Amino acid sequence: MAFVEARGITFGYRPGESAVVSGVDLAAEKGRLHVCIGPNGAGKSTLLALLAGWLQPESGRVLIEGGDVHRMGRRRLARQVAVLEQDQAVVPHLTVEQLVLLGRTPFLGWLGWEGQRDRKLAEEAMVFTHVDHLAARRLEELSGGERQRVHLARALCQQPQLLLLDEPTASLDPAHQVRIMDLLQRLCREQGLCVCLVSHDLHLAALYADHVVLLQEGRVLGQGPPGETMTFSLLEQAYGCVMLVEQSRLGVPLVTPVPKRFLE
Ligand SMILES: Nc1ncnc2c1ncn2[C@@H]1O[C@H](COP(=O)(O)OP(=O)(O)OP(=O)(O)O)[C@@H](O)[C@H]1O
């Protein structure tokens, strides 16, 4: 059974205006990495917020392990689902370790004290994401990429079953992009996590996705393995520019948007 399922979900931010997500069906499984791609404004972040239960669809349902996400208690939801948003707020004066420990909040007792196990999980998450050497630093003293890795550590520290990430590699250098994607893949394979992420990086999507969802104007234009969804015709239709799709030497589609001067 799918771990998280969207059944015909439709959502619009303002009544009477056209929907931002329209009739989306998808099924995401444990142990698999799902990547949602599509042009700016296609509705990817909105879809992620619907899967997280932060937004309620006008029609259709989001199910987690077969249960409606809006009927799950907030604490239960927070224990199962971790979200890494696109623009994480910087909480002033908080150290890296303190922020990562916030991932344990749904599991703490009523006094809110962290125990030894919580601190151990925070440390493991910081080692995983290569930020352990920054543990005592304040968030505002970090680079964008370092901060992004710290927020990922916070999400991992939560030990979720479903991890939703909005452009988790956006401000990372190529080595850290690969390291973080390797880590996410390992979490899927070894710990059976269900990972859904949004990305504009078509090459990373082709390299790592088990399942690609291609959105355009709120609708699913195609979904399936990268080889079936990242075709030049679907990508051109979605992005509205000419795309060259080759088979890379790593055996996955290599997508290059073609500059105008090569078309003249
Ligand atoms: N809080 C909001 N209130 C009103 N409209 C919104 C809100 N958030 C997003 N939208 C609109 O909904 C549409 C989809 O936005 P969304 O952020 O989901 O797209 P996206 O595919 O993630 O885009 P991008 O790739 O640019 O991040 C856009 O037209 C956007 O302007």
**Nearest CA residue ID for atom 1, ligand 1:** 13
Distance 115 CA to ligand 1 centre (A): 39
In our burial notation (b when 16+ CB lie closer than 10 A, e otherwise), range 232-250 reads eebbeebbeeebebeeeee
Q: How far is the CA of 204 from the centre of ligand 1 (A)?
A: 22
Helix (H) or strand (E) holding 34: strand 33-37
pLDDT in tens, the chain (264 residues): 799 999 999 999 988 888 999 999 999 999 999 999 999 999 999 999 999 999 999 999 999 999 999 998 888 888 899 999 877 666 778 899 999 998 887 766 655 667 788 889 899 999 988 899 999 999 889 988 888 889 989 999 988 999 999 999 987 889 989 988 998 999 999 889 999 999 999 999 999 999 999 999 999 999 999 999 999 999 999 999 999 999 999 999 999 999 999 988
Cβ atoms of residues 36 and 200 within 8 Å: no
CA distance 190 to 69: 26
Q: What residues flank ligand 1, with Cβ below 6 Å?
A: 13, 20, 38, 40-46
Sign of CA dihedral 44, 48, 51, 55: negative
Domain architecture of the chain: domains with CATH:
4-262 (3.40.50.300)
Q: How far is the CA of 12 from the centre of ligand 1 (A)?
A: 10
| ipTM (interface pTM) | 0.98
What's at 19, amino acid-wise?
Answer: A
| Maximum alpha-carbon separation in the chain | 68
Among 89, 95, 96, 152, smallest CA distance to 125 is for 152
Q: Closest ligand 1 atom, CA of 167?
A: 27
Atom of ligand 1 at shortest distance to CA of 43? 18
